[in-house]
């Protein structure tokens, strides 16, 4: 038995926790917090809450803490993130993936020797949220910046955090060659099938038929090609690498993605290979869907085209070495 | 220290190591390719890093990453490649990251040609990328000077936390000359990099960033950068004045063109003509006051001749220096052609009283 504490001011009312709670103990609220969001409410009693933490795992805003029956915190917000409240839209899962990266680095004791690189796009302000040394890079160039930083400081952990416009479009060359050189960096690639920051234009990853502001009649693949599967493309390279795809649209997928991110950083910490984790994520605002409809869209439309799992691992002998 | 005979590009590579730079990121392009070819062999010997990037775009952003991590680093390229680096130069200047960029200028525009030119003067001195930023630009006129200026380039990059461009041309890169290195072995690492990203263990975290969304904050940032450039303009101007102190013709030229002009001036002076050369060594900051003083020392009616391997770019700075007090004549060739000493001498002769 347990209970949760919802930090009202952090809540954007996206309701991802409402869906995540297996016992339906969280409901949408009607009161607005000081930022104008209708925050969610825990309506259960300690006898009902199992302290499973899935609500907190789903929360993009570090807004929920979970306690067990002995009133001990079982879900603690990571010190790898600052206290700054993110600018992300309600239901966007950038915040979830930020937390996964930060949690993993904290767990591995790497926060003090990590250099992160923020991209251009919705996560341009990631340097405000990650609580360690951060670069802000030019659009698409993060893998080149990471290469320079890692070559200068080979004993540091260097990672990029990039969206699909940044990585798959303008930065296509930089990611391809960083991967092919086998740079000992980690790349966290958020794929939400759209340009978010500029207001919802077609990305290389936009789904066939998907309406965006530059494909108002739906993406016509005869004209714009098929969605780019970056993970698959990088997995064809002969250079050893860890290449995986996870999702952040639901709690279960998020927990699996956490493992992928951890393995990616473990490969880097062992100076083993290039590591890349693509994470499917939601963009309710630019998809024109509610946060939970957006999660369903990932499940129904994106995952069949972008299958989850590990696409490539370094050979066992390399892992042993 | 004894002199060695070296090709300009290779000498520049060695000079970088002597200056303490052991991180190089670059991409092949004529006529500077001997710089990466030299460094890929030499850097491993001194424990350095050589990386052939996939493009000039990537190379300059690797420099951004390495400079931000607090090591002396550089790249080199030639005109079309420098155009591709424009983006990164803007970010480097915006984030106040020290680095050195060599431009071994070749003829343009477009793909142009591979022969020497000075037609990237506007690009070098008026900024390459977007925004109110400047680079310090050094223009050597010989292989020896190129070597000497490399140490200065890294010193100024660190002093001002700003990219410094060594702007030479294919002639200097490709010719062999005796050079003397003024120090032995690998030079000192970057000093005072207490702003660099090295992992925040035991100190507050640091951010290297050029995004300032609030206009007041961004304006303040621009003002601070401008103050830095103004300080460089006060403290770092370098030039050479050669020949008569009260000339009838003052030639203004930089780099290879200055050296060729010197030959013409020497010939004319042997004939008893009163001629002189004003040679900016820093193309930015430009020695306006010093050039103006040289003009003011001339007799009334004496002429100024700007000579360039371009269709006329530095001439605008010479005019700024003159502030309308003198008519500025121009002699220039572009496309890879270089005015000869005889051509320069003939033009000076035509301007003499």
- The answer to whether the Cβ–Cβ distance between A136 and B211 falls below 8 Å is yes
What 3 state SS string does B114-142 have?
CCECCCCHHHHHCCCCCCCCCCEEECCCC
Cross-chain CB nearest to B68 (options A132, A149, A177): A149
Question: Do the Cβ atoms of A145 and B62 come within 8 Å?
Answer: yes
- DSSP states of B133-201: ---EEE--SSHHHHHHHHHHHHHHHHHHTSEEEEEEEHHHHH-EEEE--SS-SS-------TTS-S--T
Q: Are B143 and B177 in contact (CB under 8 A)?
A: yes
Q: How do the domains of chain B map onto residue ranges?
A: 4-177+207-235, 240-351
Tell me how far the alpha carbon of residue A103 is from its chain's centroid: 12
Question: What are the Cα distances from residue A35, in Å, to A86, A288, A295, B107, B173?
Answer: 12, 22, 24, 58, 61
Coil, strand, or helix at residue B235?
helix
- Inspect the interface and report whether the beta carbons of B65 and A147 lie closer than 8 Å: yes
* Coil, strand or helix at A37: coil
Burial category of A186 from C-beta neighbours within 10 Å (exposed 0-12, middle 13-18, buried 19 and up)? buried
How do residues B233-249 score in pLDDT, each as one tens digit?
Answer: 999 999 999 999 999 99
CB B339 within 8 A of CB B332: yes
Band (pLDDT 50/70/90 cuts) for residue B341 is very high
What is the SS3 assignment for A36? coil
Tokens for B294, please give them: 């040289």
Flag whether pLDDT at A14 surpasses 80: yes
| B18-68: pLDDT as tens digits | 999 999 999 999 999 999 999 999 999 999 999 999 999 999 999 999 999
Interacting residues of B181 by C-beta distance below 8 A, sequence separation 6+:
B1, B4, B14, B15, B18, B147
Beta strands in chain A (DSSP E): 3-6, 26-27, 41-42, 64-67, 73-75, 114-118, 133-136, 157-163, 186-191, 241-247, 274-280, 309-312
**Residues in A lying within 8 Å of B, measured between beta carbons:** 111-115, 117, 124-125, 127, 131-138, 141, 144-153, 156-157, 173-174, 176-177
Rounded Cα–Cα distance for residues A115 and A96 (Å): 20
Q: Smallest CA–CA separation between B106 and chain A, in Å?
A: 26
B197 and A135 within 8 Å at the Cβ level: the answer is yes
Indicate the pLDDT class of residue B9, thresholds 50, 70 and 90: very high
Whether this model's pTM surpasses 0.95: yes
| Alpha carbon distance B46, A96 (integer Å) | 44
Compute the mean pLDDT over every residue in chain B, rounded to the nearest whole number.
Answer: 97
**C-alpha distances out from residue A235 to A180, A190, A195, A311, A314, Å:** 10, 17, 24, 6, 11
Output the CA torsion B176→B178→B183→B188 (10° steps): -10
Q: What is the rounded CA–CA span in Å between residue B152 and residue B269?
A: 32
Cα A278 from Cα A168, distance rounded (Å): 11
Sheet with A186-191, edge to edge strand ranges: A309-312, A241-247, A274-280, A186-191, A157-163, A114-118, A133-136, B207-208
ipTM: 0.96
Sign, CA torsion A317/B44/B70/B25: negative
Q: Residue A126 and residue A115: Cα distance in Å, rounded?
A: 12
Tell me which chain A residue has its CA closest to the CA of residue B197. Answer: A133
pLDDT of A47 reads 85
Report all structural domains of chain A as residue ranges with CATH numbers, in order of start: 3-75 (3.30.70.20), 94-320 (3.40.50.970)
Cα B255 from chain centroid (whole Å): 9
If one counts every other C-beta atom within 10 angstroms of the C-beta of residue B238, the result is 16
Taking residues B114-140, report their average pLDDT. Answer: 95
Asked if B171 contacts B338 with a C-beta cutoff of 8 angstroms, the reply is: yes
Chain B contact probe: residue of A110, A125, A149, A173 with most B CBs at under 10 A? A149
At A315 the pLDDT is: 84
Chain A contacts of B197, Cβ < 8 Å? 115, 133-135, 149
Q: What is the pLDDT of residues A157-186, one digit of tens each?
A: 999 999 999 999 999 999 999 999 999 999
- The reply to whether B4-177+207-235 and B240-351 are identical in fold is yes
CATH number assigned to the domain covering B4-177+207-235: 3.40.50.970
Which residues, at least 6 apart from A65, have a Cβ–Cβ distance to it below 8 Å? A4, A5, A7, A56, A73, A75, A76, A77
Q: Which CATH number fits domain B240-351: 3.40.50.20, 2.40.50.100, 3.40.50.920, 3.40.30.10?
A: 3.40.50.920
Number of Cβ within 10 Å of residue B184's Cβ equals: 8
Computed over every residue of chain A, the mean pLDDT equals 96
């Amino acid at each position: 038995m347990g209970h949760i504490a919802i930090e009202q001011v952090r809540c954007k009312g996206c309701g991802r926790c409402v869906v995540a709670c297996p016992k339906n103990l969280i409901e949408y609220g009607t009161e607005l917090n000081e930022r104008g969001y209708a925050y969610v409410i825990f309506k259960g009693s300690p006898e009902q809450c199992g302290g499973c933490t899935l609500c907190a795992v789903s929360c993009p805003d570090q807004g929920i803490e979970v306690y067990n029956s002995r009133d001990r915190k079982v879900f603690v917000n990571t010190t790898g993130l600052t206290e700054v409240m993110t600018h992300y839209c309600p239901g966007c899962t950038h915040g979830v993936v930020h937390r996964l990266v930060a949690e993993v680095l904290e767990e591995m004791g790497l926060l003090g020797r990590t250099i992160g690189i923020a991209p251009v796009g919705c996560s341009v302000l990631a340097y405000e949220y990650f609580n360690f040394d951060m670069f802000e890079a030019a659009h698409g160039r993060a893998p080149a910046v990471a290469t320079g930083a890692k070559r200068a400081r080979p004993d540091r952990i260097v990672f990029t955090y990039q969206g699909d416009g940044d990585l798959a479009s303008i930065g296509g060359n930089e990611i391809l060659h960083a991967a092919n050189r086998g740079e000992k960096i980690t790349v966290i690639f958020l794929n939400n099938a759209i340009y978010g920051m500029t207001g919802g234009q077609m990305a290389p990853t936009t789904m066939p038929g998907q309406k965006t502001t530059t494909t108002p009649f739906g993406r016509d693949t005869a004209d714009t090609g098929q969605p780019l599967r970056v993970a698959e493309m990088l997995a064809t390279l002969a250079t050893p690498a860890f290449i995986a795809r996870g999702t952040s649209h639901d709690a279960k997928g998020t927990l699996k993605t956490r493992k992928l991110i951890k393995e990616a950083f473990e490969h880097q910490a062992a100076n083993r290979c290039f590591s890349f984790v693509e994470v499917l994520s939601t963009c309710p605002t630019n998809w024109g869907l509610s946060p939970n409809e957006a999660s369903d869209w990932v499940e129904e439309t994106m995952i069949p085209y972008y299958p989850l799992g590990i696409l490539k691992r370094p050979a066992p002998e390399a892992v042993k070495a | 220290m004894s002199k060695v005979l070296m090709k300009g590009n290779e000498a520049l590579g060695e000079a970088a190591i002597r200056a303490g730079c052991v991180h190089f990121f670059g991409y092949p392009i004529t006529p500077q390719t001997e710089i990466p070819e030299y460094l890929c062999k030499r850097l491993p010997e001194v424990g350095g890093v050589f990386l052939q990037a996939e493009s000039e775009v990537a190379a300059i952003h690797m420099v951004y990453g390495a400079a931000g991590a607090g090591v002396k680093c550089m790249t080199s390229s030639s005109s079309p490649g420098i155009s591709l680096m424009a983006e990164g130069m803007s970010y480097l200047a915006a984030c106040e990251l020290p680095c050195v960029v060599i431009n071994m200028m070749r003829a343009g525009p477009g793909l142009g040609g591979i022969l020497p030119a000075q037609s990237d003067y506007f690009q070098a001195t008026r900024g390459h990328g977007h925004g109110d930023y400047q680079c310090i630009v050094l223009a050597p006129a010989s292989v020896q000077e190129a070597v000497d200026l490399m140490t200065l380039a890294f010193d100024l990059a660190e002093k001002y936390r700003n990219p410094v461009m060594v702007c030479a041309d294919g002639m200097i890169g490709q010719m062999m000359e005796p050079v003397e290195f003024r120090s032995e072995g690998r030079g000192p690492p970057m000093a005072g990099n207490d702003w660099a990203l090295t992992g925040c263990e035991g100190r507050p975290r640091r951010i290297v960033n050029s995004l300032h969304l609030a206009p007041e904050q961004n304006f303040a940032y621009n003002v601070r950068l401008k103050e830095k450039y103004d300080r460089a303009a006060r403290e770092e101007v370098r030039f050479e004045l050669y020949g008569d102190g009260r000339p009838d013709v003052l030639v203004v030229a930089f780099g290879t063109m200055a050296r060729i002009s010197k030959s013409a001036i020497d010939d004319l002076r042997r004939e008893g003509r009163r001629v002189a050369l004003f040679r900016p060594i820093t193309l930015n900051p430009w020695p306006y006051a010093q050039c103006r003083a040289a003009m003011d020392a001339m007799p009334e009616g004496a002429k100024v001749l700007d000579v360039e391997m371009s269709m006329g770019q530095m001439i605008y700075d010479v005019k700024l220096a003159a502030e309308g007090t003198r008519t500025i004549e121009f002699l220039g060739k572009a496309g890879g052609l270089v005015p000869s000493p005889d051509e320069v001498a003939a033009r000076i002769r035509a301007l003499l009283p």
